[in-house]
Amino acid sequence: MRTLSPRLLLVISAALAGVVMITLVLLSAAGAVEPIVAVELALSVMILGTTAVIVAGGRRTDGKALRIDARTKRQDAALARTEQSLTRLTATLDGLTGRLEDAARDQSRTVLAALGEDRMELAAQTQRLDRLSAAVSRVETAVRQSADDLSDLHKHHERLTGAAVHAARDLGERLDELGGTLRHGQADLARAARRDYAQLEALIDVRALLEPRAPLPRLRGWAASPDVLRLLIERVAADHPKIIVECGSGASSVWLGYAVQRFGGGRIVALEHDERFAEASRDLVAAHGLQDVVEVRHAPLTPWTAGGETFPWYDTRAVDDLNGVGLVFVDGPPGAVAPLARYPALPVLLPRCAEGAWFVMDDTDRPGEREAADRWLTEHPELTGFAYPAEKGAMILRRTPR
């Protein structure tokens, strides 16, 4: 029920008090009520009216207080529910953050484990480049100092004796020669840096793609370079060759084995003329669990004759059981055996190859390997070939499908 305002109650009370007082005055004038009694009654009415106003105002104030208290309790309950929701949301976010941190740590450990050797190789290359840069800086400082000395000599040219002038000219010629040597050295340094970067980039690519399960021997040098391995792995991924023949064995045998496992296909037969190295290659293959897809065959070098020429090559009996070869990697015999020791690879293996088979000859920066590849293209018009810009040079040949 709505409570009347104190002002309205005061007006009503004053009106009633006025009516009562007028009535009392009339009654007193008529002699019905004594004047003293009339005054007492008027005062009582006024006191009662004032009391009623005060009580009504107090009740109105109490009602407002009760409504404010109820509204405060509702707001407190809403705040409590909001606090509970925030607590649950915070717990959920904490859980998600923990899972994301765990996933990030796992991914970081995987990437760091896969790229550990790459970072070591990159650090070593960086140190070598730093040393070369420091040496170049020292040479540049010496050249600048010598140039300053020569400038001082020119300033006093008129006072120099004939012998001193001759010495100054010699010094200038030596400085010119030293400057040329410095420019060549800087160019060689830049080429070496680009070459090393390309090999590190290729190595990172193949490691990230194949994820080897055990440490691998070093590449480059006697072994195949990472850029050639990446080329071979691309061919395995694209063609899924039934049989891959490798002339030579070692680290490349393991990388090719991982590629066959990763992309599917057949098996790898690696020919090795050195029995001790063949055994070491078998141990390396077994260490990576690839003995089911990689077979290292000991094939001693024997004379192979064609067209009145004789070349040392692997014992051909090692490939008598092979047919449908899809990819051949020619990385042996070693170049020191004979200038054209790798020439027999194509005439021996081409009859055992499938249509569209690929041959990859490594080390074509050397004259013997380049001559062998040129002879292959000349003697076999069914082949197409092109040079591949690998670190040590490479030639890619393919039997054109009929």
For the segment(s) 226-399, the CATH number from 3.40.50.720, 3.40.50.150, 3.30.70.270, 3.30.1490.20 is: 3.40.50.150
Position 212 confidence tier, pLDDT thresholds 50, 70, 90: confident
Q: Cα–Cα distance between 113 and 374 in angstroms, integer?
A: 43
- Distance from the Cα of residue 386 to its chain's centroid: 32
- CB count in 10 Å sphere of residue 348: 18
Cβ(212)–Cβ(288) below 8 Å: yes
- pLDDT over 50 at 115, yes or no: no
Q: List all residues 6 or more positions away from 330 whose beta carbon is below 8 Å from its beta carbon.
A: 247, 342, 345, 346, 359, 360, 361, 362
Average pLDDT, the chain: 79
Cβ(301)–Cβ(342) below 8 Å: no
Reported pTM: 0.55
Q: List all residues 6 or more positions away from 316 whose beta carbon is below 8 Å from its beta carbon.
A: 302, 304, 348
Q: Distance between terminal CA atoms of the chain?
A: 105
Most confident of 69-78, 219-228, 278-287: 278-287
Closest by alpha carbon to 241, among 39, 132, 11, 399?
Answer: 399
Q: Which phi and psi (to 5°) does residue 325 adopt?
A: -65, 130
- pLDDT over 60 at 113, yes or no: no
H helices present in 156-225, as ranges: 162-210
Confidence at residue 372, expressed as pLDDT on a 0 to 100 scale: 96
β-pair partners for 295: 269
Q: Which phi and psi (to 5°) does residue 358 adopt?
A: -110, 140
DSSP string computed for 159-175 = GS-HHHHHHHHHHHHHH
Residue type present at position 387: A
Confidence at residue 112, expressed as pLDDT on a 0 to 100 scale: 41
Confidence at residue 324, expressed as pLDDT on a 0 to 100 scale: 95
Domain boundaries, the chain: 117-210, 226-399
Confidence at residue 68, expressed as pLDDT on a 0 to 100 scale: 78
Q: Cα–Cα distance between 336 and 222 in angstroms, integer?
A: 12
- CB count in 10 Å sphere of residue 258: 24
Q: Cα–Cα distance between 154 and 164 in angstroms, integer?
A: 11
- DSSP H or E stretch at residue 354: strand 353-362
- Distance from the Cα of residue 89 to its chain's centroid: 33
Indicate the Cα dihedral angle 236, 239, 242, 247, nearest 10°: -50
Confidence at residue 388, expressed as pLDDT on a 0 to 100 scale: 92
Confidence at residue 137, expressed as pLDDT on a 0 to 100 scale: 73
- pLDDT over 50 at 23, yes or no: yes
Cβ(257)–Cβ(246) below 8 Å: no
Share of the chain above pLDDT 90, in %: 38
- pLDDT over 60 at 120, yes or no: no
Q: 65 or 259: whose pLDDT is higher?
A: 259
Read off the pLDDT of residues 329-383 as tens digits, 9 standing for 90 and up: 999 899 889 989 999 999 999 999 999 999 999 999 999 999 999 999 999 999 9
Cβ(228)–Cβ(250) below 8 Å: no
- Stretch 240-262: mean pLDDT, rounded? 94
Read off the pLDDT of residues 253-283 as tens digits, 9 standing for 90 and up: 999 999 999 897 789 999 999 999 999 999 9
The residue whose two tokens read 């070693």 is 334
Cβ(13)–Cβ(50) below 8 Å: yes
